Chains A and B, each alone.
Chain A
């Protein structure tokens, strides 16, 4: 038995942690990349903002995409809801309301991350080795999912953990592909042209995919990179793999196998089959950007249908804080 509100908190707690991990990963890779460039690219940090899809929010707060601005925006900015700091804070808030459902290791881990990020304050932007900070965020998030896997009973709540994590991961992988791929290969005709291997390797590294890619495909080609990140069934960050896992979680949650009758399972099933049966040539012909765009639209629909099917959350009243804290406990 899982309260809708609790399922909602579990789902979002995991989405926020996955989100923070992905941002840390992107920044980490970009930091490495910027060290490799003899003649700096014209806007090495702008694309990171585009990946988030929050360009407008950034422009309101900063006037240029300098390294300091972008790093601050994505890491610590309290005004930006999806900064690492805010993601961890929100994950912790959610964890707090479900303290009795998650294990103490899980709680202590989120709490520790929250304290680390809070302490980092401005130092991380100016520091010589900001890499250490982003690595610790990445590792902290990984430790959290490892703790979940190892200490939480694989019950309905656990499946919501998985569901949130997989859908967020699919979303982030698709975004990074969209932006970087587009930057590196603006026209389908450029396939076969001179390649900036360093940049392509960086794209793969952004999603932790370089070594596994090499094992499967060897040499880097744009087509194979797209194929690996979209269609590979075994690589944990590929869209196909994420959707398969999400579908599995849903099956456990609803108890319905091969579910076609519930809207949420239909939504997920549709995207998963689409991915499963696509060929890379078809995707390139269709237009990679358009394909990814469509994937993201479907991911949004999935998120909405999950909300409708399981959460149907009513927003709290305005003075809820005042009312709750005023209740006398003798």
Chain B
């Protein structure tokens, strides 16, 4: 294995310099890779995939008759982030989540930021019936986003940009934990020789974050993870996190509101629940309050929540800050609530709801990435430079019908990381999703999920569209290993 023919032209490669040599932090890893015999890297790649499959780290493509489980493609070459780079990212993420939290308290309360025009009222989804019902809610300890995933990208060696804030049901942390476990088996020597920050305490920190929300005065709060059920694509993660934390995994049908509390149906009768980590959308958690057709929720749970007798993570209503339009205003929120300059910049964003922006976007569709404000998983995105004229024209019509529902951003030259392709390495574009826990303190998981676009030249990293994952190594300071 060698770097002959490895190209970094036109893009920032996180591990390899333009001269074709490994960056300092990547030297031990690359040295080891160079030692590998012909075919060995693929062997390790396959062994890693097998380990993931056997442990059930799978993603569901679930049809009613057949369950097809496959792993999300995993690449054994990790991404490496230097300690001081990460420290800055961490500060920026903590700053950002604090600002978002202030925003939510404000929006569901006095709405100062709207009253004084800092954010135009029409950009906030106040007409949404679900969010309307969340007005005047007071989540426990004043925190709305207990678990968030803030997507980051890099275009050069200096700056990480925020791509998106996920404040509802961010998923993927189970892959982070499993990828780490598998990579320790794949490259034990390299791993041991570098001071890599540990991710193994995530479950414990998650549990602490959740228990922190329990109604006061309870000696040993009962926490549960609430899943939509086995047909959900992220079911593995729900079950994995429940197991790692040692708490029950429940579905809506396992719970019932009784005597003013939420209780679980057990073989010994009803047992009280104090904290619920719910991986179910707001609209589905209470058919008595929100969507009446929901079969996934618990009737009356919002009353119990309102009365402070059960805690829900993330808090209902957090979603109002989680769309691509509000994203554009987050830097303003940081200035407004914290009186600070944003440490992590946004990607330049055009709001089609603003006339000037919309004109610009329609004139430059061939240069921009256009996204619907409210979809997840890369759905509905058009990458202008890769689309045909017909596709761009069709999209222009879609925007014209609902300009406020779309935003656009310049196509970014995302950074690349060496990835195994046949028997060699080639650069592939990546992004990063760090996970942030907001409990008594704010804790950022070192690194997070690196998602890689496996198809040559592709910029789309989502797993549902041909993406894969890598382990992310954040180095500790001063050479002190913590793993």
Contacts and interface: CB of A to CB of B under 8 A. Distances in A.
A18 to B, nearest CB: 21
B232 A324 contact: yes
B268 interface: yes
Interface string B276-316: 00011100100000000111100000000000000000000
Contacts of B171: 329-330
A330 B166 contact: yes
Interface in A200-238: none
Interface stretch (A64-72, A274-282, A313-321): A313-321
B351 to A, nearest CB: 21
A320 B232 contact: no
B168 interface: yes
Contacts of A317: 295
A5 B248 CA distance: 12
Contacts of A96: 67, 230
A99 interface: yes
B265 A312 contact: yes
Interface stretch (A100-108, A179-187, A295-303): A100-108
A2 interface: yes
A329 B294 contact: no
A168 B266 CA distance: 23
Interface string A64-106: 0000000000000000000000000000010011011000100
Contact of A328 (B237, B242, B251, B377): B377
A1 B224 CA distance: 12
Nearest to A8: B267
A35 interface: no
Interface in A258-296: none
B55 interface: yes
A312 B171 CA distance: 32
Contact of B56 (A104, A316, A324): A104
Interface in B313-361: 322
Interface string A1-42: 111110100000000000000000000000000000000000
Interface in B4-49: none
Contacts of B251: 5
For A5, A104, A319, A329, the residue with the greatest tally of chain B CB atoms inside 10 Å of its CB is A329
Nearest to A318: B295
Interface string B246-260: 001111011000000
A325 B231 contact: yes
Contact of A156 (B169, B242, B267): B267
For A3, A5, A310, A314, the residue with the greatest tally of chain B CB atoms inside 10 Å of its CB is A3
Contacts of B296: 320, 323-324, 327
B85 interface: no
Give the bracket for the number of chain B residues in contact with chain A. 35 or more
B265 A3 contact: yes
A316 B231 contact: no
A321 B231 contact: yes
Interface string B141-174: 0000000010000000000000000101111000
B234 interface: yes
B168 A328 contact: yes
A320 B230 contact: no
Contacts of B170: 330
A253 interface: yes
Contacts of A327: 169, 228, 232, 279-281, 284, 296
B237 to A, nearest CB: 8
Given A323-B284, A325-B62, A4 B231 contact: no
Contact of B271 (A1, A5, A253, A321): A1
Nearest to A255: B268
Contact of A1 (B54, B149, B243, B268): B268
Contacts of A316: 253, 295
B264 interface: yes
Contacts of B168: 328, 330
Nearest to A107: B56
Interface in B221-238: 228-234, 236-237
Across chains A and B, which 9 residue pairs bring their CB atoms closest together, nearest first? A317-B295, A324-B231, A329-B234, A330-B166, A324-B229, A329-B171, A100-B243, A324-B228, A327-B228
9 contacts: A2-B268, A97-B230, A320-B296, A323-B228, A327-B281, A327-B296, A328-B281, A330-B168, A330-B377
Interface of A: 1-5, 7, 93, 96-97, 99-100, 104, 107-108, 156, 253, 310, 312, 314, 316-317, 319-321, 323-325, 327-330
Given A4-B265, A4-B267, 8 more contacts: A3-B264, A5-B265, A108-B54, A253-B267, A321-B64, A325-B232, A325-B233, A329-B279
